[in-house]
Structure 1
Amino acid sequence: MDTLPIPLLVHAQTGTPAQALSHESIPSVGRDLPGADQRSRDSSHLAADSSVGDPDDLSQTGWCILFASDADPAIKAQLQPLIDLRRSQVGDDNLFKVFEGNTGVQPGQTADNWAEYRGVSLTAQVDPFAGVPYYVLLIGHPDRIPFDFQNLLKMQWAVGRLAFDDIEDYGRYAKAVVQYEAPAFQPVQRKNAAVWITRNEGDVATAMLSGALCPNFLDVHRPLGSGAARFTLDAFTGSSAKQATKQQLIDILRGDIPGGPPAVFFTGSHGAEYPIADPALQRRMQGSLFTQEWVRGTPAGADNLFSAEDIPADARLQGTMAFLFACYSGGCPADNNYYFQPDGSKIPVAPAPLVAALPQALLSHGALAVIAHIDMAFPYAFQDVTGTPQVQAIRDPLTYLMLGRRAGYAADCLSDRWSHLCSQLIEAENRTASSDPKAPQPLSAAAHSALTIARDDARNYIVLGDPAARLRIADLK
């Protein structure tokens, strides 16, 4: 534990992987969001209260859409078919809300302040009748509705976000979801999952990633998708004959793989970091995925990077769920939260926080939802702070999706993990501060550093797309 983890990040213009974090940087890492530990104190499961017997039943959980207060009315018009569908599925106006204008998110408003105005608490389990239904779809970019707002709200609610640069993409997404959920629509996807995991030569981070996930996902006795889900699995990894190449990812999106078009796919790789000096390039490419072709020290290029622009025109994504594991795969903050200037000040990453172009493009091409990371992603998703493999944080959301759970529910276990790590860290800090000679031994500085990073890493997974979206399991071939 003396060595801190290496993020799954490569500097695109040089091809240089990010270095392991240093213990000296940890004191500059910010404290967690207020109330983050409350979830683990109140519940080890769903954050809704006892009135919700089935978290997949919208007539029990409700659904709402939350706009920035100054959102362009054209965005709502584009989303109206989805809004109308969810209203009909909820069937009770007490459990259906549209928050906009004065009830939307005001500039600079925090999640706890917004919740207070709605008469609900961020540190109590969700009563869907109390004013804010359980499934919450945020509409807006993170410079207007911050990632911290989403993170704190998802501690109790099932939260997703839509943020497109092209207003018409909101309409494309809404149309695809509404059409997919129509009873007469026949999904093209099969009960098949695809995993695409790189292992680049001489690269420690992807060796750890592949070494932890592949034996678990490909276990002949219990492969990913087996059991109650009854999914088949197509695996493309850096250590197998069918490698995680760029062309192979294109084929996955086309459904041109042995098991047919996958309903769920997972990517695990390095994410690309582009410099703040070229905002337009960064906006297009930040969080793109380095493929198996990448070699350490080789800059990003068309032959070793998969970006939003590489999604083929004939991709068969309508009705697909995705989990993108990489640094910045879902977006990035404005400032670096792990590496600092010598004086402890922040290093700027982007002119403003952003949602990555790749998940935006997947959603506008018909994907139902994408689980992704909005900061640097670390190995703590597949190992604990002692280095012991524990892949549940990745395997469980994928399994829940394959069981037909709604996207927000499937990702809820990640929020639960964040809260437990927060509680564990608070408890450890209290032990360190205690003067009681009978108190348990405090954590070492190295263990405290590792736990801090693991906590923040778990916090930064988000759902992009409608959190109420789900696969039509019974209709998959």
Structure 2
Amino acid sequence: MPDEKQIYFNGIDGVTGEYLVPPMQISDAAAMASGEVKEKKIITWLTSMWHKISTPFMGLPLGVDPTDITQAGWAIVFLKDEDPAVKASLQPLVEHRSNQIANSKLIRVLEYQPGETWEQWLGRYNVAPGSVEPTKIPYYLLLIGDPQRLSFSLGHLLDVEYGIGRLHFDTPAEYATYAASVIAYENDTLVPNAKEAVFFGPRHNFDQATKMSADYLINPLADGYPAQNGNPVEPGTAQRWGYQSRKIWGDAATKAALLDVIQPVGNARPPAFLFSASHGMGFPRGNHNQKNAQGALLCQDWPGFGIIHPNHYLAAADIPANSRLHGMVLFHFACYGAGTPQVDQFIHEPGQPPPTIADSSFLSALPKTWLTHPNGSALACIGHVERAWGTSIIASHAGPQIQTFQNAIGRILIGQPLGYALKDFNERYAALSTSMAATLQQAGWGAAPDPESLAYQWIERNDAEGYILIGDPAVKLRVNDLVN
């Protein structure tokens, strides 16, 4: 087990080859957590939502199945001043969903006015927080637009109650490519993927962060657990749900090996699902690589701290034209794997404004490439906005805690819509926010919180909050059509 008094962050600086954030003492993390301020009404709402979203109906009207879009509904949300060419590019997807749902009350095209709070936006459509009414705002929401104007924080709050996905591409043609790929996947007679899940995890003996993610996340996800302490053998996540499982781990987890996954040889088919756990690359504000390579996946090729080269990581520019991504779902446990906010919301001195880390918020280039590949796009990519908190895998003295990942991956593999598949992360975010608020409230009454407990609540809450879905939240694997 790693040193429990040190907190390790995922992320390697693309200029220096060092950690983006050096390992932190528990006491420093507790101080940051103690200085956090959240609106009281948000905490009150999260407390109430924790109980609602733990039920089978996720706060929807009784009897509405959240895994069935024909009951839960679907909407696309555009910025009020979105380019008409972007709207036109996505109209085929709107029509496709409308034909599937076949109920005009459950299919909507909505607008977001930049600057609106989550509560104001809901209110404009006559919906209050804590009450999902699919005929007013459907459960599955696809947010379209620049995250600088349609913010990550808005998406995080909506995601507690709704099934959220988002897209932001540079051109209308890229939106059209993604829409066409989704429609083709859902309409074609055959699917191009094998019923296989791949788990990719570099492991560097000199690096505590990848030792944790490889040993305590990749290994149990791929291999399961042996019989122990009277408990039976627990199969790996893919095997449990009837998939072939392939693990690419440690020395084998090179950049070339990762490229081989998306370039199968001959008649071999690409996997339906790829999970990776690695460092994500980070670049300073103003660096020419920040927009192009932030969140790129660091592979086993990396020789050590103080040395870094593009050959060590997989970035958007490395994806070959003959890649076969169509129909895949990708999930990256990596710093900035999905996006970067304009400001660092967590690592800053209490009472001080958060530092600016990018000129504006943005989605990472790699998942955008997955979803716009001209040879057929992936269905979706799940990843982290901000840092991935590796220490969250091993919570305090409780040992490895990966059920949230097991459940999310399991939901994906059994064919549930991806916007619903991430519900366990949302439940965990709400539960930990509630617990942390209670701890800080008691501290305000004079009680001395346990620094270690507070620090780990803060870390785990931050990690659970940060996952987002890039792609249509209604997409799902065609499980019965995958090739064994």
TM-score scaled by length of structure 1: 0.91
Secondary structure of 2:464 counterpart: helix
Residue 236 of structure 1 aligns with which residue?
Answer: 248
**Residue matched to 1:140:** 145
Q: 1:427 pairs with 438, 442, 448, which one? A: 438
Change (3 A) 1:381 1:233: farther
Q: Which amino acid in 1 is paired with 2:239?
A: S
Q: Cα distance, 1:193 vs. partner?
A: 0.3
**2:23 aligned with 1:20, yes or no?**
yes
Q: In the alignment, is residue 373 of structure 1 matched against residue 384 of structure 2? A: yes
Whether 1:152 aligns to 2:157 is yes
Deviation at 1:367, TM superposition (A): 0.7
SS of 2:248's equivalent in the other structure is strand
Match of 1:122 among 109, 126, 129: 129
Q: Find the counterpart in structure 2 of residue 408 from structure 1.
A: 419
Q: How does 1:331-410 map to 2 (within 5 A)?
A: 331-340=339-348, 344-365=352-373, 366-386=377-397, 388-410=399-421
C-alpha RMSD of the superposition:
2.2
Q: Does 1:108 align with 2:115?
A: yes
How many angstroms apart in 2 are the aligned matches of 1:345 and 1:128? 38
Shift of 1:60: 0.4
Structure 1 residue corresponding to 2:319, chosen from 304, 311, 319: 311
Partner residue, 1:40: 50
Corresponding residue SS for 2:143:
strand
Number of equivalenced pairs: 460
Structure 2: gaps of 5 or more residues: 227-232
Q: Distance in 2 between matches of 1:191 and 1:311?
A: 23
2:91 corresponds to which residue? 80
Q: What is the match of residue 245 of structure 1?
A: 254
Task: After superposition, give the CA deviation of every residue in 1:383-431 in whole Å (9 maximum; x if it has no partner).
Answer: 3243510111222211111100111011111101101111111222333
Match of 1:224 in 2: 237
Listed as ranges, the gaps of 5+ residues in structure 1 are: 436-440
- 1:193-238 Cα offsets, whole Å, 9 max, x none, are 00111112300111111110233121374012123x2001111011
- The one of 332, 337, 352 aligned to 1:329: 337
Residue 272 of structure 2 aligns to a residue in which SS? strand
Which of 459, 469, 473 lines up with 1:453 in the alignment? 459
State yes or no: 1:469 paired with 2:475: yes
Note if contact 1:429-1:442 (Cα within 8 Å) is conserved in structure 2. Answer: no
What's the CA shift string for 1:293-346, capped at 9, x where partnerless? 112224432320100111121111111111011110000111122332697332
CA distance in 2, matches of 1:164, 1:4: 38
**Structure 2 CA distance for aligned equivalents of residues 310 and 257 of structure 1:** 21
Deviation at 1:2, TM superposition (A): 6.8
- SS of the aligned residue for 2:198 comes to strand
The answer to whether structure 1 residue 169 and structure 2 residue 174 are counterparts is yes
1:300, 1:158 → 2: CA distance? 38
Retained in 2: the 8 A contact 1:382–1:392? Answer: no
Partner SS for 1:254? coil
2: CA distance, partners of 1:270 / 1:151: 23
For residues 291 and 2 of structure 1, do their structure 2 counterparts lie closer, same or farther at Cα, with a shift above 3 Å needed?
Answer: closer
TM superposition shift of 1:370: 1.0
Matched letter for residue 85 of structure 2: A
Q: In 1, Cα distance between the equivalents of 2:210 and 2:398?
A: 15
Give me the TM-score of the superposition, normalised by structure 2: 0.90
Equivalent residue letter for 2:11: L
